[in-house]
Chain A
Amino acid sequence: MTEHAHDGGEHGAGSGESDAVLSVRNLEKHYPVRSGLLRRVTGHVKAVDGVSFDVREGETVGLVGESGCGKSTTATSLLRLEEPTGGAVYFDGEDITEYDSSEEQAFRRRAQMVFQDPNSAFDPRMTVGESVAEPLGIHGLRDRQRQQRIVEDILERVGLAASDTDRYPHEFSGGQKQRIALARALVLNPDLLVADEPVSALDVSVQAEILSLLDDLQQELGLSMLLISHDLGVVRQVCDRVGVMYLGELVELAPTEELFANPQHPYTEALLASIPNPNPRQRGGAVELTGDVPDPSSPPSGCSFHPRCPRVVPPEGYNFPNDSFREVLDFRLDAETGDVDDDLSTAAAVREDYGLPPELPDGDADAVLSAAIEDVLAGDTESAAERLGDAFSTVCEREAPTLAETDAGHPAACHLHGVASEHAPPELAGDD
């Protein structure tokens, strides 16, 4: 870990830090959604929405999150494989979005990418040697003999044989193909390697081989690396620091062991608790998240995790002990979308369906809830939604939290911490 591991607080500042190879600032990639006869733009999918982080020299940074959280789009946008729609990316202090074509070509040499599926990464009609040498030719080294020497050397470095140059991709297994893909990415001696799910198509035993290879190569070549993965185990194995993404935003960024030991965002907490633990004596530790990841074309207001957050901040003026507001909010959100089950016929059934107690500890809150349940039973879901919305509004849906320093020493974007913590009852704001 570098000595700068704790200074993640100054995000969104002008250019990058001096020792950062890569500085991403408020990166945005919004895709237009078109509909109707004239294909008019009717909205945007905010695949990446204001993401900032650094990758320092020789460091491995991981980005984790579930499918659809924008981690791959972050990778492709920061390499300008897709044009970002906002923000800046500094590579060695220069903004890559302002590169002209010759500068861009130099950047293309210094920043390389490895993709998930090694089976579709190669032209089946080219030999391994030709595939690995191709980037050399593109970047001006056309001397066949020198090409061959370099290719043979790099193949040996990734654990293959120099004689493999004349073989074709189909002769290799998935893990070996991923080694070839790594060889091709490293043949130009890049400074930055972006690896997008480099092992998720491989078996665990092969995963382990590729991960230790990545580790070795990084140390040997002094590479900086950005590793994208949905698998927290993989990230823990190779990364120095980890950023957690949810719905296009970075919600937490911390040195790896700190993130695993002391997660500050409830989403990170839930994600960590969902990894099946390979110890049969510790079963059932998963934090149950309600519902699915929301539609990114219409993300929730405020903190985009609030519809699923088990520790959502309760409304002011009511007393909801021990995260008991979650169930009430579930009911409210369903009332708003008209998704309350029509088949529920009694107040008790509604309460049971949402895991609500027969009576909330706070009498005032229970009065509002009871009235809303009556509305629902009378078929008037709209008034129920209105009643609940007026009474139980949480800071999590009103204000979007920003990535801010927490007491744990690394930043997280959550109202349980930082400026908004006066909204939360003290026992929730603290760290437990």
Chain B
Amino acid sequence: MAGPLLSVDDLHTQFDTEEGTVKAVDGVSFDVREGETVCLVGESGSGKTVACESITKLVPRPPGRITGGEVRFDGEDLTELSGKALREYRGGRIGHVFQNPQEALDPVYTVGDQLVEAIRLHRDVPKAAARERAAELLDRVGIGDVSERIDDYPHQFSGGMKQRVVIAMALACDPDLLIADEPTTALDVTIQAQVLRLLNDLQDEHGMAMLFVTHDLGVVAEIADRVVVMYAGKVMETGDVYQVFEDPSHPYTRALLECLPGRGRALDTIGGTLPDPTSPPDGCRFHPRCPHAVPECETDGQPGFRDVGGGHDVSCLLHDDRHDLPRAMEADDD
């Protein structure tokens, strides 16, 4: 294989607000290989949604602006493309699924009409053929009795069913990459389990890659091949799912894992709050809240990535040879 399907390199996206410029995504890089599931994880305000909306330039402009970096999809730099050329990708080779299925569907058209529109936007096929394809898609995402339901309106579907319709729409043109932004957050756990399984099956069938944005580490453990942990617009750690969960190497990742509720012991908390997005701290973005911070963490920008083993990259000075602090981190494993 030539290279990754999607390669985001040093992406910068900022918003001009009355309080100042917010660098929502501030030099983010990650790759998604063919057929792979990459999870972007982080708390609200970490820039994960903006990062994935920047890929196909869905960030509203103004106030949003992509100020630097490259987004290479199958070799082509999407940031250079015009609106018309981008529309070929959006919903074509790159499908999108958003958090709230309610807002993603037009209430005044039947789901069949919306699917037909999505298909014909990218493929020159007659209406009847598009409708056939729409029925096929609905059947595939688990909507029973398609011949009747295809003419129903979105309000006639439950939340979980609507999300299935949205997924069907994203799959309309057999995308190579599916970008799913918190697709199960608005759903109940039992329905979430159904949707995650569906996405997994679809991925196996079509071999598509998936970029999955979520704040829920449980969901990440369930579906990810690789994980990108974001904090305040920067990537803190990337690695495969086992590396990140079993050997979390950035103090922020550790803190996130430790504050998951329901693990039968007292909760650890991170303490402090997210930095002001208009004037983030110098040095490592996490240093004001980091229990292991040393004076060097406060200057010279976000530390460069260090490979702590097998493509497991961490942006933290503690993994620098000059510090023997990793032992301090291991000490609080007990």
- Chain A residues packing against B (C-beta within 8 Å): 66-67, 173, 175-176, 203-209, 211-212, 230-237, 257, 270-271, 273-284, 286-289, 292-293, 334, 339-343
Q: How many residues of B contact A (CB 8 A)?
A: 49
Q: Does B199 contact A (CB under 8 A)?
A: no
Q: Is the interface of A mostly helix, strand, loop or mixed?
A: loop
Establish whether residues A205 and B144, one from each chain, have CB atoms under 8 Å apart when the complex forms: no
Tell me which residues across on chain A come within 8 A of B155, comparing CB atoms.
none
Q: Does B124 contact A (CB under 8 A)?
A: no
- Contact residues, B219-269 vs A (CB, 8 A): 219-222, 224, 241-242, 245, 255-257, 259-264, 266-269
Establish whether residues B260 and A211, one from each chain, have CB atoms under 8 Å apart when the complex forms: no
Q: A12 to nearest B CB, angstroms? A: 29
Q: A344 to nearest B CB, angstroms? A: 10
- Report which of A270, A280, A342 forms a contact with B221, defined as CB distance below 8 A: A280
In the docked arrangement, what's the CA distance between A407 and B273, Å?
Answer: 47
Establish whether residues B160 and A292, one from each chain, have CB atoms under 8 Å apart when the complex forms: yes
Establish whether residues A205 and B146, one from each chain, have CB atoms under 8 Å apart when the complex forms: no
CB 8 Å contact bits of B180-217 with A (1 = contact, 0 = none)? 00000000111111101100000000000000000111
Q: A205-B270, A208-B268, A209-B269 are in contact. Are A279 and B144 (CB under 8 A)?
A: no
- Report which of B145, B220, B262, B267 forms a contact with A212, defined as CB distance below 8 A: B267
In the docked arrangement, what's the CA distance between A288 and B191, Å?
Answer: 9
Smallest CB-CB separation from A172: which chain B residue?
A: B273
Establish whether residues B43 and A277, one from each chain, have CB atoms under 8 Å apart when the complex forms: no
Q: Does B21 contact A (CB under 8 A)?
A: no
Sort A-B residue pairs by CB-CB distance and give the 7 closest, nearest first: A233-B262, A276-B218, A208-B259, A286-B193, A236-B262, A66-B188, A203-B43
Q: A356 to nearest B CB, angstroms? A: 15
In the docked arrangement, what's the CA distance between A204 and B139, Å?
Answer: 36
In the docked arrangement, what's the CA distance between A279 and B182, Å?
Answer: 19
Establish whether residues B273 and A281, one from each chain, have CB atoms under 8 Å apart when the complex forms: no
Establish whether residues B145 and A340, one from each chain, have CB atoms under 8 Å apart when the complex forms: yes
In the docked arrangement, what's the CA distance between A206 and B45, Å?
Answer: 13
Sample 27 A-B pairs with CB under 8 A, ordered by A number: A66-B191, A203-B215, A204-B256, A205-B256, A205-B259, A206-B43, A208-B268, A209-B270, A231-B261, A233-B261, A236-B261, A236-B262, A237-B267, A274-B193, A276-B219, A276-B222, A277-B218, A278-B257, A280-B221, A283-B221, A283-B222, A284-B197, A284-B222, A289-B190, A292-B158, A340-B145, A341-B145
In the docked arrangement, what's the CA distance between A277 and B255, Å?
Answer: 17
Q: Does B279 contact A (CB under 8 A)?
A: no
Establish whether residues B191 and A230, one from each chain, have CB atoms under 8 Å apart when the complex forms: no
Establish whether residues B193 and A211, one from each chain, have CB atoms under 8 Å apart when the complex forms: no
